Amino acid sequence: MNEEHIKQTVREFYNRVGWQSIGETLYQNAQYEDLRPVSQEYLHRCHMRVKRHLAQKGIYYLDAGSGPVQYPEYLTYSEGYRTRVCMDISIVALREARKRVGAHGFYVVGDIAHLPFESEIFDGVSALHTIHHVPLGEKLMAFEGLYRVLKPGQQMVVVDGWTRAPLMIGLARFMNYIKRLRAWRDERANQAGAEDIEPENLADKALEKAQPVGPPSPAGTFVEKFDADGLIELLSEKIPFEILVWRSVSVAFLRSVIYPDWGGKFWLKIIFWLEECFPRLLGRIGQYPLILISKPTEGALKNASEV
C-alpha cells in the first residue's frame, strides 16, 4: 500500500466512520477510549497535561489533526490565542470542529506530513493521536514540518501511543486475572439473585454495555506506531525533544481493572500521582507518551554554538 493510498484510507475512515456522531457529544471513535464516569477525572487530568507545556497566549495556535475537537479540555488549549487553526485530513472532522470552535477558528483540510503554512508562524502547536496514522516514510517529515512552523522560543506537544508499551506487557497477566475475577464475581452475583446496582454505578454500567470490554478493536484504518527506541532513533540530532508521560495505562487496562465498586477512582489517583513523580520513566515504558519539542531562539542557538 503506497503512501497516497494510505492517506486516502485514513481520510475515508474518518469521513465515513470515525467522526460520525452516535450521540450529542459522542462519536464512533469513542470506542477507542474509556468514557465511563469512573475514569473521567483521570482522563481530564491527563488531557490538561498538554496545556501546561504550551504557551498560554499567542496569536496562532495549530491543532494539527484536530479531529472534531471532541473533548472540552481540548478547547482550553487555545483560550489565550487570537485564532485556533484546526487542520485535519477529514472534512467531516472540520465541520464538527467548527460547531465547537466557531469564529475563534480557521479550518484547513491538510496533510500533517505536508503542512501548508509559513515557517515560524504558530505560538503553540499540538498533534494529538495523529502521527500514528502517518506512513513510516513520512513520520520524520511530519515532525520536521511541525517544528518548522513553530515560532522560536515556543514549545509543541505530540501525543501518540507506543506499539508495545513495556508497562502494559508487564501488566498483561494482572489484567487477565482481574477480568477473570470480575467475571467470576458477576456470575456468582447473578446466580445468587443479583443485588440491586448502586445508583452511583448506573452510568458506568450503561457505558460498559455501550463500549467493548478489553482492548479496542484494531480494525478501522491504518496505524503504524514506534516504540521509544524507534522514536529516539528517528528524532535524535534532528529535533530537540523530551519524552514525558501523557498517560501510562491503556484503554484495555482501564476497562479491565478499573471499576467504581472496586475503588477505581482511588487507584487512578495513585496512578496519576506516580506519573507526576516519574514522568520520564513512565513516558518511555507507559502506553501514551507526551513528546515535548522546544524550539530555541536564535540567540540561544548562537550561545550554544559558542560554548
Q: Across-strand partners of 289?
A: 245
Which of 19, 26, 112 is closest to 68 using CA atoms? 19
Say which residue the cell 474509556 belongs to.
Answer: 34
Beta-carbon contacts of residue 135 (< 8 Å; ≥ 6 apart) = 3, 6, 7, 113, 222, 224
For the whole model, what pTM was predicted? 0.85
Mean pLDDT along residues 163-187: 92
Distance CA(197)–CA(194), nearest Å, equals 8
Which of 7, 3, 67 is closest to 32 using CA atoms? 67
Q: What is the pLDDT of residues 95-133, one digit of tens each?
A: 999 999 999 999 999 999 999 999 999 999 999 999 988
Helix (H) or strand (E) holding 288: strand 288-294
* pLDDT given for residue 307 in this prediction: 47
Phi-psi region of 198 (alpha: psi -120 to 50; beta: other; left: phi over 0): beta
Distance CA(83)–CA(269), nearest Å, equals 34
Please name each of the domains of the chain with its CATH number: 3-166+214-298 (3.40.50.150)
Question: Which pLDDT band, with edges at 50, 70 and 90, does 77 fall under?
Answer: very high
Q: What is the pLDDT of residues 188-211, one digit of tens each?
A: 878 776 455 554 454 455 445 444
